Amino acid sequence: MSIAAFAELQREVLEAVALGRSLRAVMELLCRRFEALAPGAMCTVLSVDEAGRVHPLAAPSMPKAFSLALEGLPVGPKAGSCGTAAWRGEPVEVSDITSDPLWDDYRGLAMSFGLAACWSSPVFDGNGRVAMTFALYYRQPQAVEPLHRELVEGSLQLCRVALRHDEHERRIERLAYYDSVTGLPNRSLFADRARQALHMASELGAHGALLLLDLDRFKTLNDSLGHARGDEVLRELAQRLQVPLRAADTIARFGGDEFVVLLPGCGAVDAQHVAEKLHAAIAPVVRVAHLDLKISASIGIAIYPADGLELDALLKSAEMAMYEAKRAGRNCTRYFLKAMNSELEKRLSIEAGLRHALTQPGALSVHYQPKVALNSGALCGAEALLRWHDPELGLVPPDRFIPVAEDCGLIRPLDAWVLEQACAQLASWRAAGLAVPNIAINVSPPRFCHDDVAEHVSELLLRHGLSAGDLTLEITERLMLDDNEHASAQLRTLHGMGVRLSVDDFGTGYSSLSYLRRLPVCELKLDRSFVRDIEHDPEDLALARAAIGIGRTLGMAVVAEGVETEAQRALLLDAGCPGAQGWLYAKALSADAFAQWVRERAGAPATQDAAGASVIEGEDGLN
């Protein structure tokens, strides 16, 4: 063999690698060119998977039946020449297969194809794992010829080059088409598969289903535990979610805590069954860093072709259904309904209007509802309540725009704006000689979990000349249940500053009593649902008494919300509730109307209000 001949072999193989031909095609080319330079030798290449099983890549001169017989065989200490070379990680030369013990288990196979000798060498990947073997077979017992040894040495270098290039291409493919955290297909690969499946369904007149799965409150968990542990949870759940699916199904991670499942050939009933299996797969606790985490998911289902003919339309429909599952309480499944389209349009209109309102002076305003002492009617403070009047939508109720603000991330800037307006207004009232003892502001869980509320409050107190005791920040039971460390630290800092903390809508959440003892809360706001029917429903009255008793036992003030009648006031007072707010006293008022309300009541000392309660400003507070 001339040096020029091998140089030509090398050039052809490297050119094939550079042109991006598959590893199988490159190995096939290498084997053919090798055999042309080494008469009498039959060249083969096997790949070795991570489970330690071999798969033929190239064997141009071998019968196909021989390659098929090798498919999936395990490597081992006595697995012929190739299997043993892969096992040992070193070349194995067998000059006579009929007598060598390494071939005891495969001798019959080799002899049936007329093979008498074999020399095999391992090829290592970039991680030092045996990824391939390169072997020469002979029809007669013999040692390897010196020329063949030289050729093999050069060919092994070419194998390594081709293998490295293949690994690089696979890494690029995985980055382009697979999620780096879970290993699942990403949005791009899912879109490609989905469009193929939808095209086939269209041709066959078949159904299909698309499921959008969003993990409930995963962002809070991720922020609490850190992204590394959050990724551990995602990897565990990704493994679980694949178990109930068929080979024809595709699950992908679209980013964050969102997974999408494509079910070709499935109608609504089958899709519901799959959704139930996915809920069941998620339900067992996930153990991360010695913590047992309970994860749930909200799932939206869209059916092809009823809910969309194109992928984008199906995704939009499934997303609307998923948000409906969120609103239904999470950890459940909802189908897309046509009515959701109009609801989505309304929500998008509200979101756009809110974004505009944040930049337009006068679009947003703060109203104030008095908080009074039940035994005397004395003013104890005011709650600041956000109001929004849109030029097109009119006056939008808070229960309509607040959930949208929470979903689209606007709740944090809205919270901050209300806090600033309320502090400025309290300072303005004080400067005008109006004695408003305290002002309460609602602060949402996202703001506590992600912002430095304590720093913001401190800056506002300094700017407006207020003391910490002038403010009450109202939090929700949801914040306590999320148990976010950043939020807990914020609450402790605010308490240390002297800011009062109140639990709003107490009694509407679950399992929060243990947190009440741990967090520095000084007030409970009894939800209006406890108050509404206490005149007529003994059970509601009993629940109200129990909630008031909890507050008193823990040394907290209690304020009943939604008090509208004298009978409600009397029952609450008898139950030991010290404070109230509601239409019996006043609706939420503009700043000017609130000031007038205070002046009118202060101007008639010891007079009776509509409920017969004595109004003496500044006395008989809630504390």
Distance CA(585)–CA(568), nearest Å, equals 12
Q: 267-305 pLDDT, tens per residue?
A: 888 899 999 999 999 999 998 878 888 999 999 999 999
- Which two three-digit tokens encode residue 575? 């139950």
- pLDDT value for 141: 95
* Contact in structure between 87 and 51 (CB atoms under 8 Å): no
Q: What is the mean pLDDT of the chain?
A: 88
Give me the helices (H) in 38-178, please. Answer: 64-70, 80-88, 107-112, 146-177
* Contact in structure between 440 and 382 (CB atoms under 8 Å): yes
Packed helices 187-204 and 311-327: angle between N→C axes, nearest 10 degrees: 110
Q: Give me the torsion for CA of 6, 12, 18, 24, rounded to 10°.
A: -100
- pLDDT value for 551: 86
Which value, in Å, is the radius of gyration of the alpha carbons in the chain?
A: 37
- Which two three-digit tokens encode residue 611? 């409920």
- pLDDT value for 561: 93
pLDDT band at 429 (very low <50, low <70, confident <90, very high): very high
Which among 50, 43, 138 has a CA at the least distance from the CA of 86?
50
Higher pLDDT, 623 or 266: 266
CA distances from 180 to 100, 227, 319 (A): 46, 14, 23
- pLDDT value for 395: 92
- pLDDT value for 504: 85
- The helix or strand, by DSSP H or E, that contains position 45, with its residue range, turns out to be strand 42-48
Packed helices 23-37 and 3-18: angle between N→C axes, nearest 10 degrees: 170
| Arithmetic mean of pLDDT, 559-563 | 93
- pLDDT value for 508: 60
pLDDT band at 126 (very low <50, low <70, confident <90, very high): confident
Helix (H, G, I), strand (E, B) or coil at 571: helix
- pLDDT value for 515: 62
- Asked if pLDDT for residue 510 goes beyond 50, the answer is no
Distance CA(381)–CA(586), nearest Å, equals 13
- Asked if pLDDT for residue 29 goes beyond 90, the answer is yes
**pTM for this predicted structure:** 0.53
Among 24-38, 499-513, 522-536, which is the least confidently predicted range? 499-513
* Contact in structure between 425 and 460 (CB atoms under 8 Å): no
| Residue 248 CB contacts under 8 Å (≥ 6 apart), including other chains | 264, 265
* Contact in structure between 380 and 470 (CB atoms under 8 Å): no
Among 360-369, 377-386, 603-612, which is the least confidently predicted range? 603-612
- Asked if pLDDT for residue 471 goes beyond 80, the answer is yes
| Cα Dmax for the chain | 121
Counting DSSP H helices and E strands in the chain, the numbers are: 23, 21
| Arithmetic mean of pLDDT, 240-248 | 94
- pLDDT value for 611: 31
- Asked if pLDDT for residue 357 goes beyond 60, the answer is yes
* Domains of the chain, CATH where assigned: 3-177 (3.30.450.40), 187-337 (3.30.70.270), 365-602 (3.20.20.450)
- pLDDT value for 478: 67
Higher pLDDT, 472 or 603: 472
- pLDDT value for 511: 43
| Arithmetic mean of pLDDT, 35-60 | 95
CA distances from 453 to 291, 345, 407, 440 (A): 28, 33, 20, 14
Among 53-62, 386-395, 575-584, 607-616, which is the least confidently predicted range? 607-616
Higher pLDDT, 46 or 491: 46
- Asked if pLDDT for residue 620 goes beyond 50, the answer is no
- pLDDT value for 615: 30
Residue 215 CA from chain centroid, whole number: 5
Where would I find the beta strands (DSSP E) of 309-378? 333-335, 364-373
- pLDDT value for 2: 62
| Residue 427 CB contacts under 8 Å (≥ 6 apart), including other chains | 464, 465, 466
- Asked if pLDDT for residue 613 goes beyond 50, the answer is no
- pLDDT value for 614: 29
pLDDT band at 617 (very low <50, low <70, confident <90, very high): very low
Distance CA(615)–CA(376), nearest Å, equals 6
Where would I find the beta strands (DSSP E) of 465-611? 471-476, 500-506, 523-526, 557-560, 579-580
- pLDDT value for 623: 38
475 φ/ψ angles, rounded to the nearest 5 degrees: -115, 165
- Which two three-digit tokens encode residue 553? 């036992």
Distance CA(468)–CA(495), nearest Å, equals 9
Residue 599 CA from chain centroid, whole number: 51
Give me the helices (H) in 71-133, please. Answer: 80-88, 107-112
Q: Can you name the residues that pair with 560 across neighbouring β-strands?
A: 526, 580
Higher pLDDT, 619 or 176: 176
